[in-house]
């Protein structure tokens, strides 16, 4: 167990450290890091990690091989406030900053080296409305400019054991498309207070994207609704199955999911005006038919589904110039 200090340039009311727990098996093995509460109101991962610490401290579970790092509360300011963010979203624009400007920048300066020192990341999250747990996958192996990657086979084989049936891919590529559209609107002066130069794809980089950028792999597991006790069980299953799959502890490995449902994010739609409205209270993965209205612009123009698919991450409280909802289609990808 250890404390990793942050930069001292912060107000007394703000947390001054990031608590990190480490366990080193006495046999060689992989280096795994598990995060909870990257968003402060998403605590299922925190609770599951605390349960793991209790089991390890009591000797009922042992790390035999490799290195396990646990961060129960990754954003302590947001956690103390009981809300998604401290001063901004930690899971965007995550990269080391020579001149940190806010609390999340300072957390990032402690977190990024931790991620870079590991091979595998399990990031545990939850969501606002009721729904089925799902896993966010990285891209297939590629050498492209947006998110080059070389571990998609290992990542997807591991993800198949985490317990969730639903998988979503295409995050950073779709985010990049949104950035291009925002740049065009900003150049026309149609996003108040935003200039084209302030927009960049790296603002879509969160924990797993950063992990892939430094040579590792990782997934975000959305375990269920924030306050649903079942979400803690989903997080616990993912933790134990990860330890089993990596061979770090003597635990039984469940078979991979038999009927995976894989979706691909293909488009993001921004809020253009405070008067834009969704046609109803959408939940993530609500199915829509081609041409079905999802929302209306303030002038009455309908925003419709471009094809059969699903509404993902709808945000009725989005700010102008930010993501309003994503759209997904069925993917032809197969888990390795």
Q: What is the pLDDT of residues 81-138, one digit of tens each?
A: 999 999 999 999 999 999 999 999 999 999 999 999 999 999 999 988 778 999 999 9
pLDDT one-digit tens code per residue, 235-264 = 999 999 999 999 999 999 999 999 999 999
Q: What is the pLDDT of residue 7?
A: 41
Fold of 264-336: OB fold (Dihydrolipoamide Acetyltransferase, E2P) (2.40.50)
Q: What pLDDT is recorded for position 191?
A: 67
What residues are paired with 122 via a beta bridge?
34, 219
Q: Is the pLDDT of residue 3 over 70?
A: no
Task: Report residue 239 as tokens.
Answer: 């933790």
Q: What is the mean pLDDT of the chain?
A: 92
CATH number, domain 2-259, options 3.40.630.10, 3.20.20.70, 3.40.50.2000, 3.40.630.90: 3.40.630.10
Q: Could you give the count of Cα atoms lying within 13 Å of 147 in the half-sphere of its Cβ?
A: 28
What confidence category does residue 11 fall into, taking pLDDT thresholds of 50, 70 and 90?
Answer: very low
Q: Which two tokens stand for residue 10?
A: 């912060």
* Pairwise CA distance, residues 135 & 19, whole Å: 26
Domain-wise residue ranges, the chain: 2-259, 264-336
Binned at pLDDT 50, 70 and 90, residue 319 comes out as confident
């Amino acid at each position: 167990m250890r404390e990793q200090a942050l930069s001292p340039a912060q107000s007394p009311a703000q947390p001054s450290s990031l608590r990190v727990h480490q366990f080193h098996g006495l046999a060689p093995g992989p280096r795994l890091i598990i995060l909870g509460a990257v968003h402060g109101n998403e605590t299922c991962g925190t609770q599951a990690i605390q349960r793991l610490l209790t089991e390890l401290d009591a000797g009922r579970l042992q790390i035999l091989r490799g290195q396990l790092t646990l961060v129960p509360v990754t954003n302590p300011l947001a956690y103390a406030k009981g809300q998604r963010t401290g001063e901004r979203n930690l899971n965007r624009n995550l990269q080391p900053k020579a001149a940190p400007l806010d609390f999340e920048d300072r957390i990032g300066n402690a977190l990024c080296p931790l991620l870079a020192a590991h091979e595998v990341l399990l990031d545990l999250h939850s969501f606002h409305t009721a729904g089925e747990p799902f896993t966010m996958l990285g891209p297939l192996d590629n050498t492209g400019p947006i998110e080059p990657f070389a571990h998609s086979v290992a990542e997807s084989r591991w993800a198949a054991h985490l317990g969730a049936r639903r998988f979503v891919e295409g995050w950073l590529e779709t985010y990049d498309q949104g950035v291009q559209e925002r740049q065009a609107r900003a150049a026309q002066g149609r996003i108040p207070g935003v200039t084209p130069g302030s927009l960049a794809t790296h603002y879509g980089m969160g924990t797993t994207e950063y992990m892939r950028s430094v040579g590792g792999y990782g997934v975000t597991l959305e375990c269920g609704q924030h306050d649903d006790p079942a979400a803690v069980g989903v997080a616990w299953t993912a933790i134990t199955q990860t330890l089993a799959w990596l061979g770090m502890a003597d635990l039984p490995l469940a078979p991979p999911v038999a009927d995976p449902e894989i979706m691909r994010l293909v488009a993001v739609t921004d809020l253009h005006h405070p008067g834009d409205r969704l046609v109803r209270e959408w939940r993530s993965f609500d199915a829509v038919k081609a041409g079905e209205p999802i929302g209306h612009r303030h002038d009455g123009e309908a925003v419709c589904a471009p094809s059969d698919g699903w509404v993902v991450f709808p945000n009725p409280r989005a700010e102008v110039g930010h993501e309003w909802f994503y759209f997904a289609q069925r993917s032809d990808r197969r888990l390795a």
